[in-house]
Chains A and B, each alone.
Chain A
Amino acid sequence: MNPKFAARLILSATLAAIMVSSAVGQTALFSHRFGATPQGNLNLKVVCSPVVTTISGIVPVANTLSGSLYQVNSTGGGIPNKRALSPPCFITNIHGQTISSYVEVDNVYFPSNATIGQYHTEHGDCATYSGGRVFCDATGNIDTVGVSNPCNFCEKSLHVEIDRDWQAAGFCGPGTACDNVTLAPLALAGTALNMQGFVFWDGTEVMGHWELHALTAWKTA
């Protein structure tokens, strides 16, 4: 570049900057950064915001409490009470980290070739509520689309339950975000779904396992 031209350019730019700053006459004080807001919650009755994760992010080793981010002590993981209608949005895990107990797992399905984990109404887990109404948990095991897992808990399946107390309270059931009736044919068809729910470790059964309990919402992926 011609040195004279460069000099004129620099001089012009400097003068322009001086003129602009004089005209504006403003001094920046500080900036505030708004972080990205979380995934939308799909259930109006839930006041938590879900964190998107994967089945492996909850169940790194099948049927094992330890090693999961959601382990809170030597015997438990996830929320303290699986049937709570207002479970805590956050838990403190065994490492002292505060993490969201409310999660979303996307692109999952109910394997149709599962032996016992197919979506179904669990008639052995029902209760009678006011007015003589009876509600049962609706359960099944999910896997990530593309993962074939016919033996239920032998691999990294995640158990999900539409809780009977949530149905009795009107938080789940027909016409809600966790409609247990309309889910049935989609589950049977192996349709890809996105699901939201609270992480819970069920150590009461012979084969302990991780659940989304309560499953609070689902929609097609």
Chain B
Amino acid sequence: MDISTLLLYGNTLALVVTLAILARVALGRFTAQKHIDGYNGPRRKLVLNRRYALALVLLALITTASGVTLFQHTLPATPSGNAQVISSACQNGTLNLATSGMVTGTASSMLFNCNATTPAITSASGGPSTPTFTLPTGATSLSLVTHVNNAVTCTGGSPLVSGTTHTFVAGDSLDYCMTSASYPSGGIASYTVTWSQ
């Protein structure tokens, strides 16, 4: 319960108590007979019980406190959130190995995309983003290359270094290219690349 709610309850209580007292006064329950010289008729005088008086004073203080405005703070509108530099359409983040026929013991390049017509990474706005990964045994390097639909193009590109920012250009449409200096007979183990900004 916040302070404004408490004050509201206080005000309401004060109003109720005041109304109750006024009602009882109207009904004569707070009156007392007092004879004054030269006057024999009944005289009404409001007699307030001490407890009622104290309660009213307290409630008045509360009401007063709630009503005093010291100053106002204006909170400006917050700025727009940073746009996400890159995105991926790969289902569950799983990449597709587009290359096959890697020959044991020879230098090999392997292209990874979402599928033949969907790049692994796209960038609408461009900007920096940082990959984090650990290459498994048998893998020599990892880079980003331009995606070409239905093609296995795994040349050139920008090498990735784990923990080092890579700057994307607006409109980038990219796949991964992993190389192996000597392809192991049992293949290369799975691993994960996490992007952050």
- Which residues of chain A have C-beta atoms less than 8 A from B191's C-beta? 33-34
Q: Is B67 an interface residue (CB 8 A)?
A: no
What chain B residues lie within 8 Å of A29 (beta carbons)?
84-87, 129, 195-197
Contact B187 A39 (CB under 8 A): yes
Complexed CA–CA distance, A42 and B84 (Å): 43
Interface of B is mostly: loop
- Residue B189 CB within 8 A of the other chain: yes
A18 within 8 A of B: no
B95 touches A35 (CB 8 A): yes
Chain A contact residues: helix, strand, loop or mixed: loop
From residue B85, how far is it (CB to closest CB) to chain A in Å? Answer: 8
A130–B191 Cα distance when bound, in Å, is 49
Interface string of A48-81 (1 = CB under 8 A from B): 1100000000000000000000000000000000
Q: From residue 158 to 197 of chain B, which have CB atoms closer than 8 A to chain A?
A: 176, 178, 183-197
B178 touches A26 (CB 8 A): no
| Given the contacts A26-B197, A38-B100, A42-B104, A32 and B90 also touching, CB distance less than 8 Å | yes
Query: A126: CB under 8 A from chain B?
Result: no
Given A28-B194, A29-B196, A32-B193, CB of A37 within 8 Å of CB of B120: no
Which B residues are CB-close (under 8 A) to A46?
101
CB-CB nearest in chain A for B178: A34
Q: Contact size class for A? A: 20 to 34
Tell yes or no: B97 within 8 A of A by CB.
Answer: yes
Residue of A nearest to B121 (CB): A32
* Bound Cα distance from A201 to B86, whole angstroms: 48
Is there an interface contact between A37 and B187, defined as CB atoms closer than 8 Å?
yes
Segment with Cβ contacts to A, from B14-22, B26-34, B36-44, B105-113? B105-113
